[in-house]
Chains A and B, each alone.
Chain A
Amino acid sequence: MNAADLLADLKKQPVGVACGLICLALGVLLFLRSSAIDERQAEYDAKSAEATQIVSNVSLSKNLPEQVQEIQALTKDLEARLVHAGQLAVNLQYFYKLEAENEVKLLDVRQNPVPKNATGYMGVSYNVTIQGTYAHVMTFLNRLENGRHFSRFSSVVLSKVAGNGDNSTNMTLTLNLELLGQP
């Protein structure tokens, strides 16, 4: 069979030939675009996730500016209540004021050294020893716990004053405490 015969045969089946050509074109098209759907689907998934995230961000942040202002005001108050390790006199004055206000005797108050590379918030450590009646010592303790500065106690020793007679109701309170502060 030569080309002329083949052409003659093909001419006998015009519909089949046309369909074959269309199928061939469609096959090429399908082959060339075989990965297009997967790519577009992946692109859509990514874009959809981004859109969902962004819309969610916007909807959840409805009252965020007000909340940020509120929390900034709170931290401003908080920072006003921090001690500054460098201001030794001001810091010790806090304890002397408590002494005066609570009728206890401050036997010892010392600020311990602060680590040199400290940043952010830190506990500024103090050793404090006071003496007074049980009621006054407890008031001092309460004022220290709920006072202007944030405090935490590492160790507490409360003992009756050694001796007898009138001083037997007196107590000694030895504290190792930290006040929340900044370098």
Chain B
Amino acid sequence: MLSLTKKGADQPEGDPLWHSDFRNVEKLPDTKVVRTTFFINTAAIAITLGLLLWTGYREFHLKTLGDQIDEAQGLVDSNRKLSNEAERQSKLFKVEEAKLLEAEKFQRTPITTSAYVKLLGDTLPREISIEYVEIRLSETRNQLCMLRGLVAGTRDQASGSASSYVDLLRANPQLSAVFETISLDKLNPDGASGLLVFEISMKVKPEGKK
């Protein structure tokens, strides 16, 4: 009795159509509209051309660099002698310049002594008498000038005069350009004269702070 049940999906519907395939695919001509060879050739030529261009570009760049190096070498060769002479002259100049700079540095001072004493004389009030001036410039830092003198007048007037004199010194533009501080350190009665003795110190500004 024939089975009436439905065939499974995995069962063949019937015998396949069968015949012998005698084609030699490799030897058959390519009958496509655009042959495969065309694509292969096009791709090969494109890649080769790209590589050729890249190699050519690099070689051209190398040649350009070589030309530029030759040009620079030419410049070096043609100017070498002059440049050596210039370097020799430059060294001589530096040696001589150093001597002048050393002399200039040797003499460099915040204010010359004569200018300082003259300035003190020019700004001296009538009631003040300077007895002693000391200038200490040996140290690079803590350069100091010190004044000692007498103030005329009663003690009341003299102390005011001394104070005014310090203010006068502080207000002087030439002195304030050189000195960092100007201060009244002492103001004492002098036993011999009965006048007030003052002592003023002036601290020189450190170099570079001017």
Contact = CB atoms under 8 A, between A and B. Distances in A.
A11 interface: no
Given A152-B106, A157-B132, A176-B138, A48 B100 contact: no
B96 A75 contact: yes
A20 B102 CA distance: 76
**Which of A13, A51, A159, A178 counts the most B-chain CB atoms under 10 A from its CB?**
A51
Interface in A145-166: 145, 150-160
Given A30-B54, A153-B113, A157-B132, A67 B68 contact: no
B177 interface: no
A30 B58 contact: yes
Contact-size category for A: 35 or more
B90 to A, nearest CB: 7
B62 A36 contact: yes
B18 interface: no
Interface in B72-89: 72-73, 75-76, 79-80, 82-83, 85-87, 89
A177 to B, nearest CB: 9
A16 interface: yes
A50 interface: yes
Interface of B: 37, 40-41, 44-45, 47-48, 51-52, 54-55, 58, 61-62, 65-66, 68-69, 72-73, 75-76, 79-80, 82-83, 85-87, 89-90, 92-93, 96-97, 99-100, 102-103, 106-107, 109, 112-114, 117-118, 131-138
